[in-house]
Structure 1
Amino acid sequence: MQIALAGYDSLKARVLRNRVKIFDAGLVLIFLGVAALFAFEVDVFENEAGLPPRQQTIELDELLVLTTLTMCCVLFYTWRRARDHKRENAQRLAAEQEVLTLALQDPLTGLPNRRQFDEALTAALKVVPSAPEAHAIFMVDLNGFKKINDVHGHPVGDEVLIHVGARLLRAVRENDLVARLGGDEFAVIARNVVGAEGASTIARRIVENLGPPVAINGVGHPVGAGVGIALSPHDGLTAIELLRKADVALYRAKAERSTGIRFFEPEMDARLHERDALERALRDAVESDSFVIRFQPTSLIGGDGIAGFEASPRLTHPVLGEIEPERFLPIAEETGLLGALTEQSLRKACAAAASWPPTVRLSFNLPGPLLLDAGFGPRILAVAAETGLAPARLDVEIDEGALMREAEAASKLLTPLRSAGVSIVADHFGTGYSDLKNLHRLKLDRVKIDGSFISAMGHDRQAAVMVRALIGIGQGLDLEVIADGVVTEEQRTTLSLQGCGQGQGALYGGQVSAEEAAALVRPDAGGAIVTAG
C-alpha cells in the first residue's frame, strides 16, 4: 500500500502541486499589479519625490482602498488554499481506498481475493454456531479449464472466469462470501447453514449453475466443477484446518466425478497421505528408472500357443508393496510424469521382448493423454530401434474411449507408427461408444473386448449378445479379435465357437516377470509358440 501511495504522490500529486505553484505566482503578480495601479492612481511616486519627509502623507480613503484590496487578496488566497487542501485530502483518501480495494479484490472477476477470504473466514470462526447450525467452507475447482486456455487462449479463459464468478454469486445466499483464490479455484463461506443438508443444498446449486456451457463469442465452453466441503465446528475450528480439509474433499470430488460434490470424511486424510506416498515413490522411480515390468500372455483362443505378452509397469514401495498402474497412472498424469514413465517402461519391455522368438509379439498400453503429444509416436519408434525390437512385433494398445475422444490427434500420432509396421489395438472394446466411421478412419489392426462383457456373458443375456456383436464387428472390419478376462473353459469354448481369435486372462496365465516370460517362450520350455502366418 505504501508503494502504491508513493506512486500516487509522485505522479498525480506532483502535477497538482506544480499547478498550485503556478496559480500562486499568478496571484502575486495580480496583487503587485493592483498595488502598482493604486500607486499610479494616487500619484504616490510624485508625492514621494516632491515633498519633504514630514509632508509625505496618504489620504485616509486611499489607505482604506489599499488595505481593502490587500485583505481581499489574502482572503481569496486563504480560501483557495483551503479548497486545494480539501481536494488533495479527498484525492488521497480515494487513492487509499482504491489501493485497499485492489489489495482485497480480484481484479479480473471483482470478487474478494484470497486475502479478504482469509480475513473473512478468520472473523467467521470467532463465533461458534449453535447446533445444528454450522459454518460451511466450499472449495470449487473448474473441470477442463486448462483446455479452454490452451485451445482458445487466455482472453477467452478470462471471460469464462468472469461468467463463472457471476454464476457463483447467483448460486449462493445473499450474505455468503464468494472469492477467487487464484487460477480456476474459487471458495465460498456460508455462515450458519443448517448442518450438512443446508451445505449440500448450496453445493447442488453451485454445480447446477456451473453446469451449462459458458457462451463466449457464440461458442459454448463446458466447464462444470467439483466441490469440496468442510463444516465448522465438526471438521475443525481454524481456517488452516478447514481449508485443508475442504481441499481434500475437493480432490476426492474431482477424482470420482460422480456428483461433483464431496464432504470431508476422516478416512480421506489417510487416503491423501497414501497418495502423497505414491507420488513420492513415483517421482523416485522415474528419477531412478526403477519401474518393474510384468508380462501377461495372450494365447490362441484354444489355448495351444502363446501369441505374445502384454507388458505393464509396476511401482514398488517398501510399505505398500507392488502397486498396479491403475493406482499411480492418474497421479503420473497430474504431476506431468506420464510421458517419462511410459517411455521408461516401454524401453524395458522392448529390451525384454527383443530376446523372444520373432513370432512372439509385445503389446504395450499407450495412455490416452499421450495421444495429444504429437512427439510421442517418434519416441516409440526410437525406443524400438534402440532396443533392437522390430516394429512389426509391437502392438500399441489404446483405450477405445480415448481413441474416440481424440480421434483427430490419434490419427496423426498413429499414422507414422502404422507405416513403420506397428499394430494398433483398441483396448476395452465395447465401452467407448465407437462409431464405424472412426473405427475405419483409425485403421486398427486388432480389438480387445473388455473383460466386463466376458465375465458377464455366462449369466447376462445382453452381455452375451454384446460379445457376439463385438466379435461380428471385428470380423466385418477384418480385425483380429482378442477377448480379455477369460477365466473359465466355458467362456473359452463360447468365444471359440463365435470366432474370437485370441484370449487373455487367468485361464491362460497371470502376470509374470521378464525372466519368467522368457522361460515360457524358450524352444526347450515345452510350451507351444504361435508361428508366423
Structure 2
Amino acid sequence: MSYHLRELYMRHRVSINDLGIIVASLLVLIFVAYEVDIFANEASVTFRQETIELDEVLLLGGCLAVGLLGFSVRRYIEQKREMNRRVEAERYARQLAFQDPLTGLANRRQFDDALRVAIASPPAAGAAHALLMLDLNGFKKINDSFGHGTGDELLVIVAQRLSAAMRPGDLIARLGGDEFAVLALHVSGPEAASNIAHRIVQALSEPVTIAQSQHHIGTGIGIALLPSDAQTAQEGIRKADVALYRAKTEHRSATRFFEEQMDVVLRERAEMELHLRAAIASDLIYPRFRPSFDLLGGSVAAFEAIPSWLLPGAAEVPVERLVAIAEESGLIHAIGETVLRKACLAARSWPTHTKLSIDIYPGQLSDPSFGATTLRVLHETGFDPARLEVEIAESMLVRELDAAKVALAPLRQAGVTITLDHFGTGYSSLYHMNEFKIDKVKIDRRFAEHLDGQGADRMVRALAGFGHGLGLLVSAEGSSDLMGQVSLLSSGVQQNQPVSEPISSEDALAMSFADLHVSPRSGS
C-alpha cells in the first residue's frame, strides 16, 4: 500500500472511530436514562417514571452536542493540517520545478520563462536587455581530479559570488553542469552589459578554497543584446552561445559580444562537420605523405602520414582546419584510425628501412585505449611496430605528461619509436624527457628555417647537442635548400623534413625506392 493510500486509510479510520465512540456513548446514556430515572430520588419508580422525560432528553442532547463539537474541532484541526501540508507540498514542487536544487539559483525552466517575458516587454529607446551565457574554465579538470563533492561545493560558491556581483532584479540561473546564465533587464547599452561581465570576471578571479586546496577558476562570457541581436528567446540563447564559443577559444577569462560574422563562421563550421561525418562514413579520408630525409645518406628515412580530405568539386581542406573540426566534434579518433590503417597498408611496400610516422593529437592523447587501438591496427594490417613513429608535440607532453604515459606505454613496449615534435617550443625539462623516455626529437621549424638569422644556428646547435647528450636521434623540420641542410648536418642534426606539399601514396612509393643522391656532404 502506497504512503498516500495508507495515510488516507488511517485518516478515515480515525474519523470512523471517533463517530463510533460518540454513538456508543450516546446509546449507553439512553439505556441508563431508560432503565433508571436519573433525576428521581425515590427508592422505586413507577411505569411513567421509567420513560425518558424532557430533562433527561436535554441531558442526552447536551452530551451529543458536546461529543459532536469535539469531533468537529478535531476534524477542523486535521483539515487545517492537511491544507498546510498541501500548501507546503505545492511550494516544494514549485521550487523543484523552477529552482536549481544545488545552488538555489533559477533553473533553465524559470530562466526560459523570464526570457520570454523580457522578449515580450521591449526596453525603452536606447536601452536593451542583456543576455549573458557563462561557462567555467577548468571545472571539468577539478571535478575529475578532486571528485564531484568538490565540484558541487565549487558550483555553490560560484553561485554565491554571482549573486553578490549582480544588480537587484537581475536573474541568475544555472542551466546545467558548469553553465550559468544572467538576464539583466533594461541596461543602458553594450557598455553597461560589459560592466556586468567585468564584475562577474572580477568576482570569479579570486581562488576558491575547498578542503584546504585552492582552485583557480575563470569564465568565458558570451553576450547577446535584446532585441537588437534576437527577436525570440531561442534565438537570443543561440546567439549568446555563439559569442560564448568565441570567448572560450581564448582559454582564459574573456568576454565577447555576438557578431554576425561569428554566426557565419559557426554555421560554416557546422556544415563542414556534417560533410566530414559523411566523408568518414563514405571512406573518403585518406593519407598523404611528407618525407623526411637522412642528411648523411640522402635517402628517405620516413614518411609522415597526414590526413587528407577533398570536398566534392572543391580544393583539399587544409589539414589544420580538418584536424580542428575533428578535435571539436570528437571525430579525431575515427580519422586517426582510418589514416593509420591506410598508411600502414601503403607503407608495407616501402623499403624496410623507411619508417611510417603519425602525429598524435590532443583528443587522441586523452584516450587511454589509444595505444591498444594502434597496436590492433598494426596487427590487422601486418605492419611491423618497429617501423612506426608516433610524434607528440612538446607542449602536449608538458601539459599532459601522465595521460601521455598511459596512452603510449603499450606502443613503447611493442617497439614503436616515440618522437618529441616541435622540440624547443614547449618548455620541456630533463624531468619530462626522462619520465617519458622518448627516442627522438624533432627541432621546430621556426629554428631550422632561419639558420642565417641571429642566434638561430646557435639555438639549433644547442638543441641538437641536448638531444645527443640524452642519446636521442635528432631531426629538424623546415629547411628545404641545400645550404640549410648542410648547416643542419654541421649542427648535429641527422634527419630533416623539408616544408613541402604532401604527396600521394603512389608518389611516396616511387620516392622511397628512388636513388636521390642529394646528400649534403656530397654536395658540399
2:387 corresponds to 1:393: yes
CA distance in structure 1 between the partners assigned to 2:185 and 2:458 by the alignment: 54
2:475 corresponds to 1:482: yes
2:312 corresponds to 1:318: yes
Please state how far the C-alpha of 1:425 moved relative to its aligned partner.
0.5
CA distance in structure 2 between the partners assigned to 1:230 and 1:106 by the alignment: 23
Counterparts of 1:193-208 in structure 2, within 5 Å, are: 193-208=187-202
2:37 corresponds to 1:42: yes
CA distance in structure 2 between the partners assigned to 1:14 and 1:465 by the alignment: 92
2:250 to 244, 250, 256: 256
| Identical pairs, percent | 45
Please state how far the C-alpha of 1:515 moved relative to its aligned partner.
1.1
Please state how far the C-alpha of 1:513 moved relative to its aligned partner.
1.0
Letter in 1 for 2:303: F
2:282 corresponds to 1:292: no
Residues 211 and 318 (structure 1), Cα distance of their counterparts in 2 relative to 1, 3 Å cut = farther
1:520 aligned partner = 511
1:70 aligned partner = 64
1:373 to 364, 367, 372: 367
> Structure 1, unaligned stretches of length 5 or more?
1-6
Please state how far the C-alpha of 1:270 moved relative to its aligned partner.
1.4
Q: Is the 8 A contact 1:360 1:529 kept in 2?
A: no
1:3 aligned partner = none
Q: Is the 8 A contact 1:427 1:448 kept in 2?
A: yes
Q: Is the 8 A contact 2:33 2:52 kept in 1?
A: no
Residues 319 and 145 (structure 1), Cα distance of their counterparts in 2 relative to 1, 3 Å cut = farther
What's the secondary structure of 2:507's corresponding residue?
Answer: helix
CA distance in structure 1 between the partners assigned to 2:127 and 2:305 by the alignment: 54
CA distance in structure 2 between the partners assigned to 1:453 and 1:526 by the alignment: 26
What's the secondary structure of 1:316's corresponding residue?
Answer: coil
Counterparts of 1:321-336 in structure 2, within 5 Å, are: 321-336=315-330
Please state how far the C-alpha of 1:458 moved relative to its aligned partner.
4.7
1:141 aligned partner = 135
CA distance in structure 1 between the partners assigned to 2:40 and 2:428 by the alignment: 110
What's the secondary structure of 1:321's corresponding residue?
Answer: coil
Q: Is the 8 A contact 2:219 2:252 kept in 1?
A: no
> Structure 2, unaligned stretches of length 5 or more?
none
1:102 aligned partner = 96
Residues 10 and 460 (structure 1), Cα distance of their counterparts in 2 relative to 1, 3 Å cut = farther
Counterparts of 1:437-448 in structure 2, within 5 Å, are: 437-448=431-442
1:505 aligned partner = 498
2:408 corresponds to 1:417: no
Please state how far the C-alpha of 1:117 moved relative to its aligned partner.
0.5
CA distance in structure 1 between the partners assigned to 2:328 and 2:19 by the alignment: 67
2:424 aligned partner = 430
Residues 109 and 304 (structure 1), Cα distance of their counterparts in 2 relative to 1, 3 Å cut = same
Please give the per-residue CA displacement for 1:103-128, whole angstroms capped at 9, x wherever unaligned.
Answer: 11122222211111111111122222
Q: Is the 8 A contact 2:285 2:309 kept in 1?
A: yes
1:124 to 103, 111, 118: 118
CA distance in structure 2 between the partners assigned to 1:115 and 1:252 by the alignment: 26
Please state how far the C-alpha of 1:155 moved relative to its aligned partner.
3.7
CA distance in structure 1 between the partners assigned to 2:116 and 2:358 by the alignment: 52
CA distance in structure 1 between the partners assigned to 2:509 and 2:405 by the alignment: 33
1:496 aligned partner = 489
2:108 aligned partner = 114
CA distance in structure 2 between the partners assigned to 1:135 and 1:456 by the alignment: 53
Letter in 2 for 1:485: G
Please state how far the C-alpha of 1:50 moved relative to its aligned partner.
6.2
Moved over 6 A (4+): 44-47
Q: Is the 8 A contact 2:22 2:68 kept in 1?
A: no
What's the secondary structure of 1:495's corresponding residue?
Answer: helix
1:272 to 262, 266, 271: 266
Q: Is the 8 A contact 1:306 1:529 kept in 2?
A: no
Please state how far the C-alpha of 1:367 moved relative to its aligned partner.
1.6
CA distance in structure 2 between the partners assigned to 1:201 and 1:465 by the alignment: 49
Letter in 2 for 1:522: F
CA distance in structure 1 between the partners assigned to 2:469 and 2:275 by the alignment: 45
Please state how far the C-alpha of 1:434 moved relative to its aligned partner.
0.7
Residues 488 and 26 (structure 1), Cα distance of their counterparts in 2 relative to 1, 3 Å cut = farther
Q: Is the 8 A contact 2:348 2:383 kept in 1?
A: yes
CA distance in structure 1 between the partners assigned to 2:198 and 2:6 by the alignment: 49
Residues 71 and 519 (structure 1), Cα distance of their counterparts in 2 relative to 1, 3 Å cut = same
2:198 corresponds to 1:217: no
CA distance in structure 2 between the partners assigned to 1:399 and 1:248 by the alignment: 30
Q: Is the 8 A contact 1:230 1:242 kept in 2?
A: yes
Please state how far the C-alpha of 1:255 moved relative to its aligned partner.
2.6
Please state how far the C-alpha of 1:148 moved relative to its aligned partner.
4.1
Please state how far the C-alpha of 1:231 moved relative to its aligned partner.
0.9
Q: RMSD value over aligned CA atoms?
A: 3.2
Please state how far the C-alpha of 1:441 moved relative to its aligned partner.
2.1
Please state how far the C-alpha of 1:528 moved relative to its aligned partner.
6.0
Letter in 2 for 1:200: S
Residues 430 and 336 (structure 1), Cα distance of their counterparts in 2 relative to 1, 3 Å cut = same
What's the secondary structure of 2:309's corresponding residue?
Answer: strand
Please state how far the C-alpha of 1:152 moved relative to its aligned partner.
4.2
Residues 518 and 345 (structure 1), Cα distance of their counterparts in 2 relative to 1, 3 Å cut = same
CA distance in structure 1 between the partners assigned to 2:280 and 2:131 by the alignment: 37
Letter in 2 for 1:187: A
What's the secondary structure of 2:249's corresponding residue?
Answer: helix
Letter in 2 for 1:274: E
Q: TM-score, normalised by structure 1?
A: 0.87
